[in-house]
């Protein structure tokens, strides 16, 4: 990593600010539609199911399951070179929304299974709270 390759931080805007603010307070939240009840991540200004603009936020339990994953053995950004190999996963919260995240604390990065039960872990990266997951149990 050089001075020309700063750590890639999230872009916070009016739509996703409640998500990042909740993480800073130690909570993972997801967006939900006040018209049809659909729930989703990442944040957007309209419901992806019915396009209603009346949306709200709910707190996630932190329980989730593993949908898919890859193990990165090459760093596609210099900021991540010192953590190879690392996991990038699609995780489904028990409330339904899916997010791309990282599994941490893996003794063996290949010892995973579809539907593996997961638990939320909040990590700090360069002053920003980031959601990650570990194997539950
Ligand atoms: Zn809706």
Tens-digit pLDDT profile for residues 42-72: 999 999 999 999 999 999 999 999 999 999 9
Nearest CA to 41 among 26, 49, 29?
A: 29
Nearest CA to 76 among 68, 84, 66?
A: 84
pLDDT (tens digit per residue) in 63-118 = 999 999 999 999 989 999 999 999 999 999 999 999 999 999 998 888 999 999 99
State in Å: Cα 87 to ligand 1 middle.
32
Both structure tokens of 69: 């994953």
Nearest CA to 97 among 60, 55, 122, 123?
A: 60
Query: CB–CB of 38/32 below 8 Å?
Result: yes
State in Å: Cα 35 to ligand 1 middle.
5
Query: CB–CB of 60/29 below 8 Å?
Result: yes
Both structure tokens of 129: 């709270």
State in Å: Cα 56 to ligand 1 middle.
11
State in Å: Cα 58 to ligand 1 middle.
14
| CA–CA gap between residue 110 and residue 115 (Å, rounded) | 14
State in Å: Cα 14 to ligand 1 middle.
20
- pLDDT score of 6: 82
- pLDDT score of 8: 87
- pLDDT score of 1: 46
Domain 61-137 - what CATH class?
mainly beta
Strands 29-33 and 63-72: unpaired
- pLDDT score of 4: 60
Specify the DSSP element, H or E, that contains 121.
strand 117-125
Query: CB–CB of 70/102 below 8 Å?
Result: no
Query: CB–CB of 69/112 below 8 Å?
Result: yes
| CA–CA gap between residue 116 and residue 134 (Å, rounded) | 10
* Residues whose beta carbons lie less than 5 angstroms from ion ligand 1: 33, 35-36, 38, 47, 49-50, 52
Domain with CATH 2.40.50 in the chain: 61-137
């Amino acid at each position: 990593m050089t001075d020309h390759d700063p750590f890639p931080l999230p872009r916070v805007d009016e739509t996703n600010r409640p998500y990042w603010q909740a993480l800073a307070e130690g909570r993972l939240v997801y967006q939900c539609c006040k018209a049809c009840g659909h729930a989703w991540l990442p944040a957007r200004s309209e419901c992806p199911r019915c396009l209603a603009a009346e949306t709200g936020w709910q707190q996630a339990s932190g329980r989730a399951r593993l949908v898919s994953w890859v193990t990165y053995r090459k760093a596609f950004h210099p900021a991540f070179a010192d953590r190879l190999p690392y996991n990038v996963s699609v995780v489904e919260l028990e409330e339904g929304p899916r997010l791309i995240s990282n599994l941490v604390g893996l003794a063996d990065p290949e010892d995973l299974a579809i539907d593996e039960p997961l638990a939320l872990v909040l990590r700090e990266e360069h002053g920003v709270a980031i959601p990650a997951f570990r194997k539950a149990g």
